[in-house]
Amino acid sequence: MRPILELLEKHGGSVWSLNPEDSVYQALEMLADCNVGALMVMDGDKLVGIFSERDYTRKIALAGRSSKDTQVKDIMTSQVMVVGPKTRTQECMALMSQKKIRHLPVVDGTKVLGMISIRDLMDDIIKDHEQTISQLQSYIAS
């Protein structure tokens, strides 16, 4: 398995984030515009939380709150699990499974490099398996 930084580089270095003071409605618009399920919440250059579809459904929709009148900081997940750029994809998958999370910010010291999703990891694992199968088929055929 490869270091997670290699997966991030495939994304082109996009770091989608919002501010803690943004409204939940603005956050939902950004989720839709970026076609992602979660965004990092940044206070300047500092990662302070994650806002996800799960946060919205459980803390706004089910609680009967207004997404236009609630700030992201009031409902974001502030206990954020992070990984470093050298963390292996398999370790990330194990962490996500153990903690029941779908998104992991990647940080190098205090610098935020990006975020990976469980989908990113699954796509990478499938690609690895397909390459292995192709190599084995080629070996068998020769």
DSSP string, 20-83: TTSBHHHHHHHHHHHT-SEEEEEETTEEEEEEEHHHHIIIIITTT--TTTSBGGGTSB-S---B
Residue 1 is predicted with a pLDDT of 66
28-38 per-position pLDDT tens digit: 999 999 999 99
Q: Which residues pair with 55 in a beta bridge?
A: none
Q: The whole model's pTM is what? A: 0.84
Q: CA-based diameter of the chain, in Å?
A: 66
Contact 23, 120 (CB under 8 A): no
Q: Which two tokens stand for residue 39?
A: 């965004």
According to DSSP, the β-strands at 17-18 and 103-108 are: unpaired
What local confidence, expressed as pLDDT, does residue 127 receive?
83
The low-confidence residues of the chain, meaning pLDDT below 50, are none
